[in-house]
Amino acid sequence: MTRRPLLLVDSASLYFRAYFGIPESAAMAPDGTPVNAVRGFLDMVAQLIRTRRPDRLVCALDHDWRPAWRVELIPSYKAHRLAPGGGPSTEVVPDNLEAQVPLILEVLAAVGIPAIGAKGYEADDVLGTLATTQPGPVEVASGDRDLYQLVDDAKPVRLLYCGRGVAKLEDSDDAAVQAKYGVPASGYADFAALRGDPSDGLPGVPGVGDKTAARLITRYGSVEAMLAALDDPKAGFAPGLRGKLDAARDYLAVAPKVVKVARDIALPAIDTTLPTAPADGDKLLTLADKWNLAGPCRRLVDAISNATA
């Protein structure tokens, strides 16, 4: 009998998408407080449960969206997302979204879905550790391209890429990553380090785009092996490309470490089993009534009930 998957949800990825995808005016509590991110997030999780039918579920949290150890390696890492006048870890987040995150966590707790993070690490690192340490199959739901590196056909681990929303998610195995980027999932982090990623403040190597990065990773397997070959005059690098890579040595020495997700961080002990019923039904009813969330809460509970039936 084929085992049902562990569904890992990149919480911030989904609730940011929910907030910007649903107008505040379309989802408000009785007192006029916007709850669009909460409603959208709960409906996305419900849809994932309905369509993927997991028997285990964990929501990952960003306890540190810009870890100091990554910034130390590449100071520009996510620097463009810093709030003006804020500290080195103050992200630009709309006030009306930030206010909804605690409510999302309250609803998840009442339902019985674990939501966990780790000090000094991003949600990506939580997802990477769970995908590595928990029994497969594993499905990771996120709109973050960096998580293509977790795809592993052997276990298996798949990325449910939600770049265009949960309704249009891309169920990605290694062949899908290869078709999209020209590299296997195992080489994606090194590929991303080479070509750069403006959304994360990673400059990449000037003059090296997707095709060149893919060709280099396909040939050498990793940035480390490529740099070793760079010292060999017989390696066959075109002079212009050799010069670009040589000028970027300092960046390339650290960039893969920044892009690669951690897979062995300490996480709190949790029960990943999908609940058969709300952990605290009374609390859930209270939250649903107070915040005008009856529909999303009912749809989430129904999805759980049907998945565990």
Closest CA to 44 of 62, 32, 29, 57: 57
> For residue 223, how many other CB atoms are within 10 A of its CB?
26
pTM: 0.95
| CA-to-CA separations, 193 to 233, 305, 309, in angstroms, rounded | 24, 43, 44
DSSP H or E segment with residue 283: helix 281-291
Cis preceding linkage at 137, omega within 30: yes
Strand partners, 161: 142, 170
What is the model's pLDDT at position 118?
A: 97
DSSP H or E segment with residue 97: helix 95-98
Per-residue confidence in pLDDT tens, the chain, 309 aa:
568 999 999 999 999 999 999 999 999 999 999 999 999 999 999 999 999 999 999 999 999 999 999 999 999 999 988 888 766 767 888 999 999 999 999 999 999 999 999 999 999 999 999 999 999 999 999 999 999 999 999 999 999 999 888 989 999 999 999 999 999 999 999 999 999 999 899 999 999 999 999 999 999 999 999 999 998 887 778 889 999 999 999 999 999 999 999 999 999 999 999 999 999 999 999 999 999 999 999 999 999 999 987
- In the chain, CATH 3.40.50.1010 covers 6-182+262-300
* Per-residue tokens: 169: 């998610």
Which CATH fold topology does 185-259 show?
A: DNA polymerase; domain 1 (1.10.150)
* Per-residue tokens: 269: 């002990």
d(Cα 157, Cα 110) in Å, to the nearest integer? 28
- Which of 3.30.1340.10, 3.30.350.10, 3.40.50.1010, 3.30.390.10 is the CATH number of 6-182+262-300? 3.40.50.1010
- In the chain, CATH 1.10.150.20 covers 185-259
Tens digits of residue pLDDT in 84-132:
876 676 788 899 999 999 999 999 999 999 999 999 999 999 999 999 9
d(Cα 34, Cα 102) in Å, to the nearest integer? 13
d(Cα 47, Cα 299) in Å, to the nearest integer? 9
* Per-residue tokens: 154: 């052997």
What is the model's pLDDT at position 89?
A: 67
